[in-house]
Amino acid sequence: MKVRLMHPDLPFDPSPDLPAHAGSVTEDLGLHLLTDAMARGDDFLEETAWAALFQLPTETEVIGFRQDVFVDCLEHPDVFRTLYAVAAESPKVERGILLGWGTTRPMARLSRSRHVMLGHLALLRRVREVADQHAADMRSPGMRALFASVHSELSDDYLAEVERYLDLVDFRGGLFETARLGLANEGTEYVLRVPARRPGVWETITEAFHPHTVTVADRDLAGAESVAELKELGAVLAADALARSAEHVKAFFVSLRREVGFYVAALNLCESLRRGGQPICRPRLRTGVGTSARSLYNPLLVLRGEAPVPSDLEADDSGLVVVTGANQGGKSTFLRAVGIAQLLAQCGLFVPARELACCPVTGVFTHFRREEDDRMESGKLDEELARMSAITDRITPGSLLLCNESFASTNERDAAAVGGDVLLAMRAAGVVVHLVTHQYELAARLREESGGGTFLRAERPDDGSRTLQIVPGDPLRTSFGADLYDAVMAAAP
Amino acid sequence: MSDRQSDRQSGQQFASILFPPELADRALDDTEPTCFSDLNLDQLVVRLSRGRSLQRLQPLFWTQLPSATAVSYRQEAIREIEQPAMAAVMAHFREGFATVLQQLDLRRHTRYAWQQRRCLLDAADLYCAAVTDLEHDLAASRPTSTALQGLRDAVRRYAASAGFVRLREEAQQARDQLGRVTYLLHVRGHRIHVMMPEDEADLGEQVADLFTRFRDMDVTTTPVPYRRPGGFSHIDAAVLEEVAALHPEEFGTLARFDTEHRDFLDPTVLRFARELEFVLAVLELKVDLEARGLPTSFPAVTEDGDATWARGCYDAALATASGRSGRSATSGTSGTSAGEVRTGRPVVTNSFELGPGESIMVVTGPNQGGKTTFARTFGQLHHLAACGCPVPAEDAGIRLVDDVFTLFERQEDAGSDRGKLQDDLVRMRHILHRATRRSVVVLNEMFSSTATDDAADLARRVLDPLLDRGCRGVCVTFLDELAGYRPDVVSMVADVDPEDPGRRLFTLSRRPADGRAYTDSLVAKYQLSPYDIKRRVLR
């Protein structure tokens, strides 16, 4: 009974802590808005989304495996939503059982586990129903395998057998246990036993005359307590075993909820984007470096109810993309769109574009100019470089580094010298770099010394208005701060 | 345990790892020596008895050995047990023997016959294993000390004796038989039916098997242990009776074993086990001190040596008074190494030597300068050496003492000066009465309540007879005139930092008393010279 919807062979484990750079990536790309749209208020889905966004598979086959499952999900959303709802019942089963909560007494634990199991038995039957109904509709290998295993592993016979054993743990006919003699002739190695046969009517009548019987006198409270202890001793191992079994069953439902939930979360996002009238597409993953896209847009704008400005990008085989151009020319938005598309595509999901082809990266890192930087005058470059150093601690060859106005806290010349050195070294180390900058000298140096790369500009038509589109173009010496100044002044009352 | 051949070889037969045969039957001191509290040895013994029976250990720490050969008998034994291989042998035996005593203890406390019998069997069984292992281990480790060779031979003879062999075989047989006993309980309501099991399946296992198909990722479940609050009760005893009735053969064997082996403990083995605790306590102290970066050593102990000396010695009670610290430091000026106690004050080591014709060190110098600590150290070295123990010093040559006498100022009798002086004199009279040329005296600020002229005179009157007798000792005093007043008096002075006279170094040097030098430097430090005062007052 394995759930394998995220990887053909491996379970999805969300437990590893998010990487240290996850915080800045989240903040820089504005991922909270994205995960909110995925989760729709469901904490479990949100947690799943975060874990998936920061555990990117790098094999194109795994990504394709997920894409196939997601196609099933887009075509049969009800199946996924129902499975998710059933799996989400699991924690409620346990919450509903007050008996034996927090106790260490084996008999109470045993009884609690039994009730937990009975509750889950009902859920297993519902999972089985969904599988029986929809097995034929599924096309992806992931979903077909899941439903096949549900069908065979949760057979009627099996479910009946489970019920029979859970019934035994109720001890209505008394409790059977074996023991051996330990030090000081105290009983040890107590083990609960399945009675060879149920005591019949005859035994019930004659048991009072059993030759080796110890009977507790009516008012012997200490004796009664001692008998209770003997039962507890017997129940220790079985209580552990049943508790462990219950954990396994619960873990199955957690996996089911997690892996189905991933696609439900993705479905939520896609529905939101479609409602905003925007296209989504199944991205093409290939090996190598570079990204190319048609009508790539930043989904966060759609989620905020704004109209995005789609851009095209032709950077196949390019490990360096530099975007220059006017302030507030849509450069940052574009950079975020690239980053988010990379994350979604590599997660195995659909992306906000008409067409997109990209290559798996080993990690996505961001180095964005921070708003708060403006407040602290001294030590800004110090702080920037500290962050860059922290990134350097973690980044690996084949990672994607998104830089937004990095080194802008220093003057053009220093930025060109320091920033140029850093980014060229990153490139040389095999890191894919996307840089957005208004600093001409830095861009120019990269243009000169990188030996390739894609250079884009935030496009500015001649009339001085902004279309916020990103088009190919070499760095220009002038920025457009004057325009912005004029615009702001004009808007002021 | 008797063996004539061995008797012939050693004169008398082995009885103890702490006392040579001729002293083995001597009674131990049953009261604490009066010097113990002054030297802080009482605290030290309590500390190193932790986890052991203080009552059993104390007499061994109180009793000084009467001869240098007895000291080396014990030193050799301790040194050999200190070796890692032998230490492991001893630790193993100790662990095994502790379980024997535990079961015997349980036997005394239970009132159910089948439990009592089984406790005896358990104890005997564990005891046989401990003795057998000890015999094997001792033979394999080829001891070199007289004590451990004697032990090895004694244990070998004992382990081969008919009585022990029978004990071992019968214990094993009974244990094996009982080990095979299993029984099935059917607990229903207020009745328990005791039956023979018939291969009933394990319920927990069956359930677990049923759910193995859900195992995918590891789940974290910790087994929850259950400790029955009530313990073995009359119900358990009644069940045990029924189990016995179901297994008459096995329990018959147990009953026979019980009647035949009531007193199986061999007295020599028992004595060894108790004396081993002393050795291990001593070695724990040694390890503790060394972990603090402080040296220890087994001193050369003589009965009539000319010299008494120690290099790198320190107060062991002070050093162990605080939590553990592995740090060590070297103080530059005196070249002494020092462990550091938690208070931040270093444990300072000192060196001294009393050569031929030198008897008593008179220690002078600033207050809080380590004088009293040094005096205690001197006393501790002599007492511990006489107990055959390692001493808190890098290296030492100690003359065996017949007694250590101390005279420390008593806080509690803070009555009139006259009362205090009288008390000092009464105690001094006792010392003068008993001290011999083999005694050690440690006198700390005696007669401090009297006027200086008087005190110096009294002190000389006390010291003269001790010196004449040839006692060794330390006399801490504020009376500079006592320093070196006779050729057999050695003057020791507590050092201060020449750069910063307010700072004590806690080391002592052998040099003439120099009370002024110290006060002059303090005056300079606080700018209180006449010139300074004039300058500061008039500015």
The 3-state secondary structure of A411-475 reads CHHHHHHHHHHHHHHHHHCCCEEEEECCCHHHHHHHHHHCCCCEEEEECCCCCCCCCCCEEECCC
Backbone angles phi, psi at A428, to 5 degrees: -60, -25
CB contact under 8 Å between A230 and B195, yes or no, is no
Q: Is the pLDDT score of B92 beyond 80?
A: yes
The helix/strand/coil state of B531 is: helix
The helix/strand/coil state of A193 is: strand
A398: distance to nearest CA of chain B, Å? 30
CB contact under 8 Å between B214 and A109, yes or no, is no
- pLDDT per position as a tens digit, B470-514: 999 999 987 888 888 899 999 988 887 766 655 667 788 888 877
Give me the pLDDT at residue A378, please.
Answer: 35
Is B184 an 8 Å CB contact of chain A?
A: yes
Tell me which of A94-98, A265-269, B30-34 is least confident. A94-98
A237: distance to nearest CA of chain B, Å? 6
For residue B301, the one-letter residue type is V
Better-scored residue on pLDDT, A471 or A118 = A118
Strand order in the sheet with B403-408: B403-408, B439-444, B472-476, B360-364, B489-496, B504-510
CB contact under 8 Å between B214 and A238, yes or no, is no
Question: Which residues from B are below 8 Å from A229, CB to CB?
Answer: 228-230, 233
A346: distance to nearest CA of chain B, Å? 24
Tell me which of B32-41, B333-342, B396-405 is least confident. B333-342
Q: Is the pLDDT score of B2 beyond 70?
A: no
- Nearest Cα to Cα of residue A400 among A329, A313, A325, A340: A340
CB contact under 8 Å between A184 and B206, yes or no, is no
Torsion of CA B493, B499, B505, B507, to 10 degrees: -40
DSSP 3-state percent helix, strand, coil across chain B (nearest 5): 50, 15, 35
B167: distance to nearest CA of chain A, Å? 18
How confident is residue A180, by pLDDT bands cut at 50, 70 and 90? very high
CB contact under 8 Å between A181 and B178, yes or no, is yes
B50: distance to nearest CA of chain A, Å? 28
From chain A residues 108-167, the ones with a CB under 8 A of any chain B CB are 109, 153, 161-162, 165
Is B187 an 8 Å CB contact of chain A?
A: yes
A12: distance to nearest CA of chain B, Å? 9
What percent of chain A lies above the pLDDT cut of 90? 59
Contacts for A98 with CB less than 8 Å, ≥ 6 apart: none
CB contact under 8 Å between B187 and A174, yes or no, is yes
From chain A residues 199-228, the ones with a CB under 8 A of any chain B CB are 207-208, 210, 212-216, 218, 222-227
Q: Which helix (H) or strand (E) holds B431?
A: helix B417-434
Place of tokens 């048609």: A294
Question: Which residues from A are below 8 Å from B114, CB to CB?
Answer: 185
Mean pLDDT of B459-466: 89
Is A394 an 8 Å CB contact of chain B?
A: no
Contacts for A295 with CB less than 8 Å, ≥ 6 apart: A279, A310, A311, A312, A353, A354, A355
CB contact under 8 Å between B210 and A165, yes or no, is yes
Query: pTM of this prediction?
Result: 0.66
Question: Which residues from A are below 8 Å from B235, CB to CB?
Answer: 214, 216, 223, 226-227, 230
- pLDDT per position as a tens digit, A314-356: 998 889 999 987 666 678 889 999 999 999 999 999 999 999 9
Place of tokens 């009531």: B262
Closest CB to B226: pick one of A106, A178, A226: A106
- Chain A residue with CA closest to B193: the answer is A213
Torsion of CA A215, A219, A222, A227, to 10 degrees: 30
CB contact under 8 Å between A214 and B204, yes or no, is no
Question: Which residues from B are below 8 Å from A179, CB to CB?
Answer: 182-183, 185
Closest CB to B217: pick one of A105, A233, A255: A255
Query: Do β-strands B182-188 and A175-181 pair in parallel, antiparallel, or remain unpaired?
Result: antiparallel
- Nearest Cα to Cα of residue B284 among B163, B434, B389: B389
Give me the pLDDT at residue A225, please.
Answer: 93
The helix/strand/coil state of B472 is: strand
Backbone angles phi, psi at A20, to 5 degrees: -60, -30
CB contact under 8 Å between B204 and A237, yes or no, is yes
Tell me which of A129-138, B90-99, B437-446 is least confident. B437-446
Is B223 an 8 Å CB contact of chain A?
A: yes
Give me the pLDDT at residue B384, please.
Answer: 96
Dist. CA A70–CA A113, nearest whole Å: 36
Q: Is the pLDDT score of B343 beyond 50?
A: no
CB contact under 8 Å between B216 and A251, yes or no, is yes
Respond yes or no on whether ipTM tops 0.90. no
Is B110 an 8 Å CB contact of chain A?
A: yes
- pLDDT per position as a tens digit, B212-249: 888 887 777 888 889 888 889 999 999 999 999 999 99
**How far, CA to CA in Å, does A285 sit from each of A259, A361, B523?**
22, 11, 86
DSSP letter for each residue of A73-125: HHH-HHHHHHHHHHHHHHHHHHHT--TTTT---HHHHHHHHHHHHHHHHHHHH
Q: Is the pLDDT score of A402 beyond 90?
A: yes
Dist. CA A398–CA B338, nearest whole Å: 56
Is B179 an 8 Å CB contact of chain A?
A: yes
CB contact under 8 Å between A212 and B193, yes or no, is yes
How confident is residue B364, by pLDDT bands cut at 50, 70 and 90? confident
B61: distance to nearest CA of chain A, Å? 36
What percent of chain A lies above the pLDDT cut of 70? 87
CB contact under 8 Å between B193 and A207, yes or no, is yes
Dist. CA B361–CA A358, nearest whole Å: 90
Sign (positive or negative) of CA dihedral B201, B205, B208, B209: negative
From chain A residues 236-255, the ones with a CB under 8 A of any chain B CB are 236-245, 247-252, 255
Is A95 an 8 Å CB contact of chain B?
A: no
How confident is residue A9, by pLDDT bands cut at 50, 70 and 90? very high
A vs B, Cβ pairs < 8 A, gives 222
Dist. CA B62–CA A6, nearest whole Å: 75
Query: At CB < 8 A and 24+ separation, what contacts does B32-36 make?
Result: B32/B58, B32/B62, B33/B62, B33/B383, B33/B403, B33/B404, B34/B405, B34/B406, B35/B379, B35/B383, B35/B404, B35/B405, B35/B406, B35/B442, B36/B62
Give me the pLDDT at residue A482, please.
Answer: 43
Q: Is the pLDDT score of B50 beyond 90?
A: no
Mean pLDDT of A219-227: 93
Q: Is the pLDDT score of B158 beyond 90?
A: yes
Better-scored residue on pLDDT, A187 or B412 = A187
Place of tokens 């990269």: A446
Give me the pLDDT at residue B88, please.
Answer: 96
Give me the pLDDT at residue B420, please.
Answer: 62
Dist. CA A334–CA A224, nearest whole Å: 76
Q: For the beta carbon of residue A291, count every other beta carbon within 10 angstroms.
A: 26
Give me the pLDDT at residue A294, please.
Answer: 93
What percent of chain B lies above the pLDDT cut of 90? 61
- Residue A357 and residue A286 in contact, taking contact as beta carbons nearer than 8 Å: yes
Question: Which residues from A are below 8 Å from B201, CB to CB?
Answer: 193-194
Closest CB to B182: pick one of A178, A244, A247: A178
Q: Is the pLDDT score of A74 beyond 80?
A: yes
Strand order in the sheet with B328-331: B328-331, B336-340, B346-348
For residue A404, the one-letter residue type is N
The helix/strand/coil state of B442 is: strand
Give me the pLDDT at residue A297, please.
Answer: 94
Q: Is the pLDDT score of B323 beyond 90?
A: no
Q: Is the pLDDT score of B415 beyond 60?
A: no
- Residue B86 and residue B141 in contact, taking contact as beta carbons nearer than 8 Å: yes
Q: Is the pLDDT score of A32 beyond 60?
A: yes
Q: For the beta carbon of residue B413, count every other beta carbon within 10 angstroms.
A: 12
Which residue out of B119, B177, B192 would a mutagenesis test of the A interface target, given it has the greatest number of A Cβ atoms within 10 Å?
B192
CB contact under 8 Å between B225 and A109, yes or no, is no
Question: Which residues from A are below 8 Å from B189, CB to CB?
Answer: 174
Closest CB to B200: pick one of A195, A233, A252: A195
Dist. CA B283–CA B448, nearest whole Å: 39
A181: distance to nearest CA of chain B, Å? 7
Question: Which residues from B are below 8 Å from A196, CB to CB?
Answer: 198-200
- Nearest Cα to Cα of residue A301 among A276, A283, A282, A323: A276
CB contact under 8 Å between B103 and A105, yes or no, is no
Average pLDDT over chain A reads 86
Dist. CA B228–CA B216, nearest whole Å: 34
How confident is residue B334, by pLDDT bands cut at 50, 70 and 90? very low
- Beta partners for B340? B346
Question: Which residues from A are below 8 Å from B207, CB to CB?
Answer: 165, 169, 238, 241-242, 245
Closest CB to A213: pick one of B192, B203, B206: B192
Q: Where are the beta strands (DSSP E) in B413-459?
A: 439-444
Give me the pLDDT at residue B336, please.
Answer: 36
Side-chain-facing half-sphere of B397: CA atoms under 13 Å? 12
DSSP letter for each residue of B360-411: EEEEE-STTSSHHHHHHHHHHHHHHHHTT--BSSSEEEEEPPSEEEEEE--S
Number of H helices and number of E strands within chain A?
17, 13
The helix/strand/coil state of B240 is: helix
